[in-house]
Amino acid sequence: MNLKWTAIIVAFVISILMGIFGSLYLPKNVSLIGPIIGGLIAGYIVDGSYTDGLVNGGIPAGIAGLISLPVIVLIAQNEIIAAAVNAGYTGPTGTLIIAGVIGGAFVGFAMFFVLGIIGAVIGVAIKNRSSS
C-alpha cells in the first residue's frame, strides 16, 4: 500500500468543498459528485494499483463525509428545527440536532466512502488504460 499525500489531500479537499458548499448552494444531491471527482483524481494520481486508489481516494472522501454532513446540519439547524416542528415534532430541539449530527456523520462517512471508492476505481482504470 502506497500513500500519496497529494492524492489524499486532493480527494479530501474536493470532497469536503463539494459536500458542504454543494449541499448548501447547488440543487439537491449535486454535492454527491464531489467524492466521485475527488476519488477519480486521487485514483488517477496513484501509480495504477487499485488498492492504492481505494486507500488514497476512498478513505479521504469518507473522512470528508464524516466532517461535512454534520457541518451542514449545524449550519442549517434553524431550517431543520422549523421543518421538524412543521412535521409535528414536539421533543427537545437540542436532541434533534445532536441526533442529526451523529446520524449525519455515520451516513456521510459511508456514502462518501463508497462514492470515493467508485471514483478511485474509475481513476485507476483510466490511468491504466491511458498508460498502455
Q: Domains of the chain: which residue ranges? A: 5-69+108-131
**pLDDT number for residue 121:** 92
Mean pLDDT of the chain: 84
- For residue 11, give every residue at least 6 positions away whose Cβ sits within 8 Å of its Cβ, in sequence order, or none: 35, 38, 39, 41, 42, 56, 57, 60, 61, 64, 116, 120
**pLDDT number for residue 113:** 92
More confident: 120 or 104: 120
Does residue 60 contact residue 12 with C-beta atoms inside 8 Å?
yes
How far is 121 from 39, CA to CA, in rounded Å? 8
Least confident of 53-62, 88-97, 104-113, 120-129: 88-97
Q: What is the DSSP letter of 101?
A: H
For residue 119, what pLDDT band results from cuts at 50, 70 and 90? Answer: very high
C-alpha R_g of the chain: 17
